Amino acid sequence: MTQTDTTTAGSGGSGATGGSGRADGLLAPVPDEDGAPFFRYAARGELRVQSCADCGEPRFPPRPCCPHCQSFDSLWTKMSGRGRIWSYVLPHPPLLPGYAAQAPYNVILVELADAPRIRLVGNLVASADAALNSVPPERLRIGAPVKAAFHETDDGLTVVRWLLERP
């Protein structure tokens, strides 16, 4: 499983490979078997991370086997949805046309408050359904507290996005 290339990533999420184009020209995640639960929970407004059912260690991206104890038993642990910006990039052209239209936008790496070793790739936006460039680049700060929001894309997949705790 691969994460969407951060130079074009626009649909926050996990457990998916880069996928088909959409009407807005952005790439849609295509959930695979291991990552599908992430998106099913997101559609219910829940941020959950796969964890080992034996040793309890969370892991990302989703995969069949625990890298710590080699157990194949897993569960999906509900997170608070809170985290902080661990790093970010501001992609600039050359980009795919759908992304170039919104540049400069941001791609952030969020460290989860409940699982500090887990970092999710996503976008910081002004509201769940806002454009990728809805937060001015100068608002981005390493360490800024963020909270998860849930955005349903044109093709019905719900992706996790991020809002500043203090807009």
Residues that bind Zn ion (CB under 5 A): 52, 54-55, 66, 68-69, 71
Query: Of 36 and 53, which CB lies nearer to Zn ion in the complex structure?
Result: 53
What is the smallest separation between the CB atom of 75 and Zn ion, expressed in angstroms? 11
> Of the two residues 66 and 144, which places its CB atom closer to Zn ion in the complex?
66
Min CB(51)–Zn ion separation in Å: 8
Cβ-based nearer residue to Zn ion, 69 or 142? 69
Q: What secondary structure does DSSP assign to 102-144, as a single string?
A: T-S--EEEEEESS-TT-EEEE-B-SSTTS-TT-S-GGG--TT-
- Of 4 and 74, the one with the shorter C-beta distance to Zn ion is 74
Q: What is the nearest approach in angstroms of Zn ion to the Cβ of residue 18?
A: 29
Cα-to-chain-centroid distance, residue 78 = 15
Q: Which helix (H) or strand (E) holds 39?
A: helix 36-43
Residue 95 CB, shortest distance to Zn ion, in Å, is 39
- We find the least distance from the C-beta atom of residue 61 to Zn ion, in angstroms, to be 16
C-alpha 117/C-alpha 127 separation (Å) is 26
**Closest to 27 in 3D by CA, of 159, 134, 129:** 159
CB 95 within 8 A of CB 107: no
CA torsion sign for 86, 50, 79, 16 is positive
Start-to-end C-alpha separation, the chain: 34
- 71 vs 87, beta carbon nearer Zn ion: 71
